[in-house]
A and B are shown apart, each in its own frame.
Chain A
Amino acid sequence: MKKNKRVLNGAIAGMALSVAFSASAQAGSLTIASPQDPGSWDPIDTFLVNWASVATNIFDGLTYRGPDLELVPGLATEWEELDEGTRIRFTLREGVTFHNGEPFNAEAVKFTFDRLLGEEGGQGPQRSNYTAIESVEVIDDYTVDFHLNEPDPVLLTKLAGYGAMIVPPEYLAEHGDEHFNTHPVGTGPFKVVEYNPREDVQLEAFAEHWGGAPKLDEVTYRFISEPSTAVAELQAGRVDIVIPPTVPIGMIDTINNHDGISVVSVASPTVEAIRFNTQSGITADERVRKAMIMAVDRQAIIDSILAGEGEMIASFQGAQSFGNDPDMEPLPYDPQQARKLLDEAGVEQGATVQIDVRGNDATFGEVAQVVAAYLQGVGITASIQPYETNVLLNDIIPAGRTGEMFQQKWGGWTFDFDNTAYLMYHTGERWNPYDSDAELDEMLESQRSITDQEERETLLQEIAQYTQDRALEMPLYSINALYGVSDRVENFEPAPDNRIRLTNVDVSE
């Protein structure tokens, strides 16, 4: 009987041990809520930030840009600009393998870019960002030359993300594009174990990663599009991180007041402005545009509606953007001066304007109402016209069918003012239906061929100043990226562009 008892005790101890063991095996798993399934993991298929926030852990680029936005070596250990910026030589990292065991080398780089610039890439949206690349030449196993049609000062940054992620040639030759969409293989710190479209994607640590094995064993990204559902999952402890832009401003308190979770925020490249029709209506007059900007207390809007989760901007870019001039001041809030300018321009009390906004953007809806109230303060009656977002973006703005003012939200993942400025201000661009300014066009074009970064920065700052002088838009704020994070997550560093690399992230039990 005594012996039996010992056996039983041993069995219980064994069970307890095995439970403890399985608990420790589970220790390194993390669950993240992501708002959208990109549908395909192939880097050339999409431009969704929601793709990048997952895929930055599956793939590597030649360069890498982390949360501090510094450009550092990725799969290329160094690079050199030759022939006045029309050739870039990359030295590649040795001893790197893809998740399937295939070696990474110069051929893989050439294959990736031939594919991106060839037929497969032509079917997706990514190619347009890499058209400066004419060809990629293999010099030896670990050296490649990029031959460019023209210098592209933003190319190195582009190589750190999206379409330029390096893909495995043998794997693709063997399994084809379609298989690759759902069974991606990269060189990143995590490999895909299982992908359930529209539900989740499960990753496992890739211990042989060149940067060292990740601390976590497993990561699951669940696709949850409804913000309140994602927050409920976070509150219930079934999700550890909710990535932007899911957490609405209105839910910050809900999260912070709940035990064990909190909101972590970081300045993001996303900026918001109300742009003007510079061709017709009262906003065709520069003085009126300036007056309207000065009539609105933008800081008060940030403090009240954004709960302080934003920064005032002087031009259409955030503080981290290359080309932002920290010394440039936004036009001051000065309603008296505004009224004076309006009088000078002959605008009568009760003049009307229309502000077109995205109908699904509740926060901006409130912002627009406050803007309208401030404008009322200087005698302008503003009506707000909400449109279905895609209708506004596809049909109303590009066709120049907006009211006197319209909402423009802009991401800017390259963190370089060139991209934003060119598309917003150059004559004939899709997002610039009204304005045409030869001097501005010339400035925008000339900065594109300058490879001296200091010189380029100065010119971009001049462009920013020029647009402020002409009051081409009412710059409002840059918005913080809001993450909902569980207290069990350790070493979490919020990424401004939602691309959190999970190599160093860990969890406590």
Chain B
Amino acid sequence: MAKFLLYRILQAVFVVIAVTLIVSFAIRLTGDPAVMLAQGAGSITEADLDRIREALGLNQSFLTQYIGFLRGLVVGDFGRSFMGGTPVSDLIGRALPATLALAFASLFVSIVVSIPLGIKAAVSRGRWPDQMIRIFSLIGLSFPNFWLAIMLVLLLSITFNLLPPSGMEGFSSFIMPAATMGIILTATNVRLVRTTMLDTLRSQYIMVARAKGLSNTVVLYKHALRNCSIPLITYFGLQFGGLLGGIVVVERVFNWPGLGTLAFEAVSARDYPVLQGVITVLSLMIISINLLVDIAYGLVDPRVRKE
């Protein structure tokens, strides 16, 4: 088990290095932050640009810059934003809780809605509740999240003035962004719950349970749901990682002060340290979730360890 753990952790470190290397290299191909900073100055000369590049450390070779970044990473120092010099760790420290809160809220919405709907669809397979749920799930899947977000704002904030259109100011601010992310996740999850449930309901122990004369509720919630919850939890865990990456658009529409907004602005401004920092944190989180899932599998199923 120790060997397996060590192997997976080394693999995770390698992935972080690969991801940050690709991101750092790619963003440096897209434009010069010195020019971005100087835009508007008008009479900027090459000497001025060189001076700014030197101050930002951009005159060093890519490898030197990248090694500097990795060195900082080891001690938790992501460097400073090019736009104003705020330490990147401070910016991430502010944005990460906002993103995590939104991601948890969205996942919560989707789990609470998708499990009962998925079960209902499975037990009434082929009949009208199943058809309706599947149609709604397909509609939910077809909505682009930005469109859904804008529609919610128009309806709930502008027409009925019920919720704040943007920002993070307490519970009411969570409803629309979490619903936007949640509806789209729910659409996927309903189908997953339905399929998993159908498989479970076909298994022999369910037939045995039914044959024993147990009530439908007990069969469904005590036997079937518990058994299909393992793949579902795994899937929701992995989905949480994907959610972090997909949150950018929703954060932007709702002006949510999270990692997505931070990353978006960093890309527009060619703020390398901020972007490197955000991507590193996101990839570390996704890798950690995967790692935890793998370890859990390893613990449960000895066959995985031998792979």
Chain A: residues with CB nearer than 8 A to chain B? 36-40, 42, 45-49, 122-129, 177-178, 181-182, 196-199, 222-226, 228-229, 232-233, 235-238, 258, 388, 390-391, 393-395, 411-414, 419-420, 422-423, 430
Contact = CB atoms under 8 A, between A and B. Distances in A.
B83 A40 contact: yes
B237 interface: no
B35 A232 contact: no
Contact of A129 (B43, B153, B154): B43
A197 B255 contact: no
B44 A224 contact: no
B167 interface: yes
B218 to A, nearest CB: 48
A419 B43 contact: yes
Contact of B84 (A46, A47, A411, A422): A46
Contacts of B45: 128
B48 A127 contact: yes
Contacts of B44: 125, 128, 430
Nearest to A388: B30
B84 A198 contact: no
Contact of B157 (A49, A223, A232, A395): A232
A127 B47 CA distance: 11
Contacts of A394: 31-32, 35
21 contacts: A38-B84, A40-B85, A45-B85, A47-B38, A125-B48, A181-B85, A197-B91, A197-B94, A199-B167, A199-B168, A222-B167, A222-B255, A228-B150, A229-B254, A235-B157, A238-B164, A388-B30, A390-B31, A390-B270, A422-B43, A423-B43
A413 B40 contact: yes
Those 9 A-B pairs whose CB atoms lie nearest each other, nearest first: A39-B84, A40-B84, A123-B55, A39-B83, A47-B40, A232-B165, A390-B31, A128-B48, A125-B38
B305 interface: no
Given A197-B90, A198-B257, A232-B158, A225 B52 contact: no
A85 B87 CA distance: 43
Interface string B26-56: 0000111011111111111100100110011
Interface of B: 30-32, 34-45, 48, 51-52, 55-56, 81, 83-86, 90-91, 94-95, 150, 153-154, 157-158, 161, 164-168, 252-255, 257, 261-262, 264-265, 270
A127 B55 CA distance: 13
Q: Give the residue among B154, B165, B262 with the most A Cβ atoms within 10 A.
A: B165
Contacts of B261: 198, 225
B41 A233 contact: no
Nearest to B254: A229
Contacts of B167: 199, 222
Contact of A125 (B37, B81, B150, B253): B37
Contact of A199 (B42, B84, B257): B257
Contacts of B154: 232
A391 B158 contact: no
B81 A39 contact: yes
Given A128-B44, A232-B153, 16 more contacts: A47-B37, A47-B39, A125-B41, A128-B45, A181-B86, A182-B86, A197-B91, A198-B91, A225-B252, A229-B166, A229-B252, A232-B157, A235-B165, A236-B165, A390-B270, A391-B31
Nearest to A392: B31
Given A47-B41, A128-B41, A129-B42, A198 B262 contact: yes
A226 B91 contact: no
Contact of B37 (A46, A235, A388, A422): A46
